Amino acid sequence: MIALNADQSIPFTALSSHNSPKDLWIAVNGHVFDLTSFAADHPGGADVLTDCAGTDGSEVYAYAGHSEGAMETLGRYRVGVLEGWECTSTLNTEPADVKSTIKGTGSAIPTLLNVARANSAYLLSGLAVLAVVSCVYALFGALTENALDMEH
């Protein structure tokens, strides 16, 4: 477990205003981190962090799978807790168990944003399937009409 400081409550609107490479804050499981000075040193590249700037990057963070050393580094940049969350004063060093130390209690806005972002790939896939099915239906319908016209 990594000890954390800065128990300041940060509204989601305040987090979202820190959304540029020169002012880069990211929430991870309710903890808010100012990663502005770290972005250039991020092993995965600054772009990964910039893409999540001003948002809840919990899913991206979990998906990437981070080492204990990475979690220790992250803990040094903590500036507070996302409003509506109750977070422990430690950050679990087991990547798979990070969420178990945090319990959301308030605003659903960050969760809804992550759901929308995560589901956009499914939505695009669904639209692609729908387009293919529509084309096949239109083609089949046209062939059927032509076949019926030939019979008469």
- pLDDT tens figures, 86-111: 766 556 434 333 443 344 444 444 44
pLDDT exceeds cutoff 90 at 36: yes
Q: Say how far apart CA 61 and CA 74 lie, in whole Å.
A: 11
Q: Tell me: the pLDDT tens digits for 120-145?
A: 556 667 777 888 888 777 777 766 66
Contact 64, 31 (CB under 8 A): no
Residue with tokens 């990211």: 26
Q: Terminus-to-terminus CA distance in the chain, angstroms? A: 80
State the number of CA atoms in the 13 A half-sphere of 15 facing the CB: 27
The overall pTM is greater than 0.95: no
CA 131 to chain centre: 28
C-alpha distances (whole Å) from 141 to each of 6, 54, 67, 128, 144 are 65, 49, 56, 20, 5
| Strand, helix or coil for residue 35 | coil
For residue 61, what is the enclosing H or E element? helix 58-64
User: Domain coordinates of the chain in residue numbers?
Assistant: 2-106, 108-152
Q: Domain 2-106's class?
A: alpha beta
| Strand, helix or coil for residue 108 | coil
